[in-house]
Chain A
Amino acid sequence: MRPVIPYVTAALLFGLGVYGVLRRRNAVLVLMGVELMLNAVNLILITADTTARALLPHSGQVFALFVIVLAAAEIGVGLAIVLQLYRMRASVAVDEVPLEEKR
């Protein structure tokens, strides 16, 4: 197994996730970009588990499981915020969110 193949795949996925977060205006699509980045991190962890012989076996896979749990919690709270934003402003465009409150 050549570890460079999954590593490069993960790096490209992370770059695409960053691109999606910065490029998209729709908050749901921004969250999809975040999911791509989290998946890239998981792929790095799984690949590192096969290349690095850690003191504890399968540490990388355990970390990947933990990251998946964190991603599930993140998407739940994130979508609650997005839906609340839609309820308040009838729009989910992230660059229309005012950073300071109008009086």
Chain B
Amino acid sequence: MTGVDALLLALGAVAVGSAVLVVATKHLVRAGLYLVVCLGAVAGMYLVLTAELVAWVQVLIYVGAVVVLLLFAVMLTRAPIGASDDLDRPAWPAVLIGGGVGLGLAALLVDAYRWTKVELPDAGTAERIGEQVFASWVLPFEVLSILLLSALVGAIVLSRPDIGRSPAKRAAVDRSGNGGGGR
């Protein structure tokens, strides 16, 4: 048990503990804040596992953007500030499937790796990752940029129902009887 292992164990315990709180807490806003702790601990694990660039991208995009978006959604849907009792559905299917998936995967990975030891490779600095992205993975990178653009357009169109559907057209669709969610 070296220092790296102890660090990984501690960060993993923090990540799993705060993830339990994310899925168990009765406070909507607190779930978002526990998610910050969980994502931060996972970013720390990335740093220990020599993935420097990914760790900082995780902090920037997940903790900085995704969690802020989630908290915005919590506020815009007028969530109550205190504890709410109607957040959960019956527990047993979720416990069965979630526990089965988690423990099954854990057993599989423990069986595959036992208590073996590997040497950490060179650190994934921005220079090395950039070389890989722009040498070997250029095509997926460009496809991803198109995907991001279409997700952006899709989010705008979804949140503005006045785009692409005039009142006269909507009335015509309703009259013809095959109206529906289709856009």
Contact = CB atoms under 8 A, between A and B. Distances in A.
B31 to A, nearest CB: 6
Nearest to B1: A2
Given A4-B109, A58-B129, A64 B54 contact: yes
Contact of A61 (B53, B89, B156): B53
Interface in A43-87: 43, 46-47, 49-51, 53, 56-59, 61-62, 64-66, 68-77, 79-84, 86
Contacts, number: 272
Interface residues of B, number: 92
Contact of A11 (B70, B109, B148): B109
Given A25-B86, A50-B49, A18 B102 contact: yes
Contact of A79 (B12, B23, B73): B73
Contacts of A83: 73, 76-77, 159
By secondary structure, the B interface counts as helix
A39 B74 CA distance: 21
Nearest to B156: A80
Interface string A85-99: 010000011010000
Contact of A16 (B77, B98, B115): B98
Interface residues of A, number: 71
Contacts of A32: 22-23, 31-32, 35, 70
A80 B121 contact: no
Contact of B23 (A24, A86, A95): A24
A72 B103 contact: no
Interface in B63-105: 65-66, 69-70, 72-74, 76-77, 79, 86-89, 91, 93-95, 97-103, 105
Interface of A: 1-20, 22-26, 28-29, 31-33, 35-36, 39, 42-43, 46-47, 49-51, 53, 56-59, 61-62, 64-66, 68-77, 79-84, 86, 92-93, 95, 101
Given A65-B129, A66-B144, A79-B72, 18 more contacts: A2-B113, A5-B9, A6-B45, A13-B16, A15-B98, A15-B101, A19-B97, A22-B97, A33-B22, A36-B23, A36-B38, A39-B62, A49-B49, A64-B46, A65-B53, A74-B151, A83-B73, A93-B86
